[in-house]
Structure 1
């Protein structure tokens, strides 16, 4: 039997899943590492800890391959988006990895957004101005840590760092480059204006390669750390969002992908670039034939966990002999759609799409003396979902109505949340039964790299059929009235976000 290893290098964990050549999962592996939040807005990883986790996952997976007397066809990668790592002349880290969740470039991003140049940058790069992007992080470092930036010889992301460690080559796949805010989607080169603003030269950046590009021939050091055959192909793969779409079979504009995990996202793969004139969505290059259009949201399952922690009675959990989440879902089912006229904006961690405002803050709107904790709990889940719905509306406006919607992420563990998503967006939702998401997408890219498939659409026949949730007519009608109000209140509160953010910091 032949195996593929799909690896997803994430924000707090690295996952690996072994698949056979028909993309059927065989065994999974997982290693975690800390996300350092030592200062306000910081969200960093230690490169050595991420590297060690990746190496352990690869070694554990290959041991499984050997136990089954199988061949390892390839190892392919998906990675977190918008990571930034500074390296010295020997490609050694001189910083931690600044992740997408790091918001210390907030003030710099706000300043750039007020400038006319913001629109020009967006039109050229497809990346909205926000603290998440390496572009704005480099602008912030230029102001806040100029000596460190001057000492930087190379600028990497986590994947280009890993591949250099394993193979001694400094390359970046085109999809990750496109997410940086420094890649021009029109000229397909590093963007001149972004380089001038950051003071970074092309010689400091990795060489751009396709997602199907293979690296073969581990360095002597890597051979000692990784116990896989030296000629095993390592495939660069893509960023996590694109990999997830591919893993769900959402590989063209007929299928939209919605993910709600710790954070959330709405994405569609198109055959041409789609740029939003209002700068609400990203447009990233996947390869020469595909682009990924959509919006990432900061606030997903983490906000729901906050609500469960604060709104579910601990005594009730003990008495009912259920987990807090089981009890929360039961409580939510007992509250009607609309939570008796209560709307929650879930911006506890700022927000990316569709408002791209790191200063955004959460709020309850419509709260009165009759509302209960049960109403508040349901309104939190509804608020997260309507926020996803607002991004979905923009995607529909620009790309058109999808024929199919595939959903994935931790929210699918909740029956009531699955149904709520269908009710809020007003479309049938298929819950992806495929195992692995980003890992499966990476393994699919490996199949294309190896010449086993010609087009990503071929994997649709390999995936199990999704469980479909149709909108409930009455609930969908209710949300049709609430969604515009949700959007209106968000618009009205936007001018106050920066002021409340500054007061909170003081």
Structure 2
């Protein structure tokens, strides 16, 4: 029986899944690497660590599935969006892999946000003006590290770097390239005006290709270490965001994927580019017939991890995620009136405010760690309510929401999310949707399934979570307060961000 291997290069780990021809998961694996490090507001990964994580995940998945390399009909690789690795003329790295969480481009993006040029960029590329996008990180390099900028012969992403190591080819799929701020989301070509803005040339970027584009694994020690055979077809595939939606079965226009991992996103697959009149959503091309439309937040699981770290340091012992969730369950909905604005890493959609900062509001002497924990889970859910409102504003309100990401393993967080949104959440059978989606592209590329929609129909729903009618009015009231609080704090966010940036020098 033919098997298909999907590899998902996430921000903090690499996950892999082996599917059979019916889309059933036969085995899975995971490799780890640093999520990113560097001076404040920097976030870089060593590129070689990505290769090590990929090898580990691939071998584990093959062993778990009890399949040989000869049984793998095709491989596909997905990757996190918005990364940037700068290479010199000998294809040696001049930087680490700069991740989406790196904030160095904030000042450069601020120079264009709200300007006619910035609006035009958004309308062409589908990328709001924000320092997360590689365009603005390249502008930062031009301004702050001119030596690196002058030596740069090629700009690639983490996925491209791994693909090149596996196949010897430089190529980038539309969905990954669409997250640069440098590709025209309408024509599916590199945008000449955006390139000129940064003093870049098209030949410094990989050729663009659709997700079904076929490559072959080359004969190298890396391929052998991954447990694979040279000559095995590699289907180019898509970004982890597209793969997550595919793995959740949310690739029909009336379905959305709600994902909470390190970050978070709410997205739909549309049949045409859809842009918000005020630039709130992003719109990333998948192929010539599909676009990923939605918004992402910086602070998903990373916010919970921050609080877990605070509790661990305060108590002198490691506190687990489950322990934080259990604490949150000790207090009723509304966290005793404590609100959390979880902007610990700035924010993306729908406000696109890198200067937003984390806030706990409403604290009194009777409040304790449990109130902080619940308020944080509720605060992240409020961010998704903002994203849902944004999608409704552009006519993309879904009939069904599929949940994915690590938060699906927390019954309390699922209940909070469903009640804040007042929507039922449907849970896919396989929780690691991005690795499933990557493997599904291998199936599509080899003709085992006809197309994107057909692959999505293979996904089975394993459960659902309904909103609690008693909690809905509580969260309606607090969300209105939460929204007012954010608006009132906007000037203070700017002030404190300037102060924090001044202390970096």
Partner of 1:160: 160
Matches within 5 A, 1:232-271: 232-271=232-271
Structure 2 unmatched runs, 5+ = none
Task: Deviation per CA, 1:206-263: give whole Å up to 9, x if none.
Answer: 1000011110251557666655332201111111111100011000221111011221
Choose which of 462, 466, 469 in structure 2 pairs with 1:466: 462
Q: Give the Å deviation of 1:483.
A: 1.5
Measure the CA separation in 2 of the matches of 1:467 and 1:67.
30
Is 1:431 aligned with 2:449?
no
Shift of 1:436: 2.5
Residue correspondence of structure 1 range 1-40 to structure 2 within 5 A: 1-40=1-40
CA displacement, residues 119-141 of structure 1 (integer Å, 9 cap, x when unaligned): 11111101111121111111111
Q: Report the alpha carbon displacement of residue 309 of structure 1 after superposing the two structures with TM.
A: 4.1
Following superposition, the deviation at residue 164 of structure 1 comes to 2.4
**Are 1:498 and 2:494 matched, yes or no?**
yes
What SS does the corresponding residue of 2:471 show, helix, strand or coil? helix
Whether contact under 8 Å (2:29, 2:59) holds in the other structure is no
Question: Match of 2:78?
Answer: 78
Cα contact 1:65–1:71 (8 A) shared by 2 = no
In 2 relative to 1, CA 453–39 (structure 1 residues): closer, same or farther, beyond 3 Å?
A: same
8 Å contact from structure 2 (residues 263, 302) kept in 1: yes
Between 115-124 and 55-64, the greater mean CA deviation after superposition: 55-64
TM-score by length of 1: 0.93
Retained in 2: the 8 A contact 1:168–1:219? no
Aligned to 1:129: 129
Alignment of 1:33-182 (within 5 A): 33-61=33-61, 71-182=71-182
Partner of 2:297: 297
Separation (CA, whole Å) in 1 of partners of 2:312 and 2:147: 48
**d(CA) in 2 for partners of 1:69, 1:210:** 26
Q: Deviations over 1:397-422 (max 9, x none)?
A: 21343111111111122211111111
CA distance in 2, matches of 1:435, 1:337: 26
CA spacing shift, 1:27–1:225, aligned 2, 3 Å: closer
Greater shift after overlay, 84-93 or 285-294? 84-93
Confirm whether residue 360 of structure 1 aligns to residue 378 of structure 2.
no
Q: CA deviation at 1:315?
A: 7.4
Of the three residues 438, 447, 456, the one matched with 2:443 is 447
**Given the two structures, how large is their TM-score scaled by the length of structure 2?**
0.93
Residue range with higher mean Cα deviation, 439-448 or 357-366: 357-366
The whole-number CA distance in structure 1 between the counterparts of 2:330 and 2:271 is 44
Counterpart secondary structure, 2:236: strand
Task: Please name the residue that 1:403 is paired with.
Answer: 399
Cα 1:311–1:163, aligned 2, differ >3 Å: closer, same or farther? closer
Q: How many residues align?
A: 502
- Please give the secondary structure, in 2, of the residue aligned with 1:396: helix
1:12 positional shift: 2.1
Measured after TM superposition, the shift of residue 369 of structure 1 is 4.0
Structure 1 residue 95: Cα displacement: 1.8
C-alpha distance in structure 2 between counterparts of 1:53 and 1:462, whole Å: 28
Check whether the contact 1:252–1:271 (CA below 8 A) recurs between aligned residues. Answer: no
Contact 2:46 2:97 in 1 (8 A): yes
Q: Distance in 2 between matches of 1:431 and 1:67?
A: 28
Distance 2:223 2:356 in 1: 47
Distance 1:109 1:191 in 2: 17
Higher deviation after alignment, 366-375 or 110-119: 366-375
- Which of 427, 452, 457 does residue 453 from structure 2 map onto? 457
Alignment partners' CA distance in 2, 1:35 and 1:226: 21
Unaligned runs of 5+ in 1: none
Q: Is the 8 A contact 2:345 2:357 kept in 1?
A: yes
- CA shift in 2, pair 1:503/1:69, >3 Å: closer
Does the 8 Å contact 1:62/1:228 carry over to 2? no
**SS at 2:111's partner residue?**
helix
| RMSD of aligned alpha carbons | 2.4
How far 1:198 moved relative to its partner? 1.0
Q: What is the 5 A alignment of 1:362-401? A: 362-401=358-397
Between 1:57-66 and 1:19-28, the stretch displaced more is 57-66
- How far, CA to CA, are the matches of 2:153 and 2:438 in structure 1? 30
Distance 2:256 2:376 in 1: 24
For residues 390-444 of structure 1, give each alpha carbon's deviation from its aligned partner in whole angstroms, at most 9, with x where no partner exists.
1121112213431111111111222111111110001111122224211100111
Contact 2:69/2:228, CA 8 A, preserved across alignment: no
Would the aligned equivalents of 1:211 and 1:445 in 2 still touch at CA under 8 Å?
yes
CA distance in 2, matches of 1:357, 1:7: 32
Given that residues 25 and 435 in structure 1 are in contact (C-alpha distance below 8 angstroms), is that contact kept between their aligned partners in structure 2? no
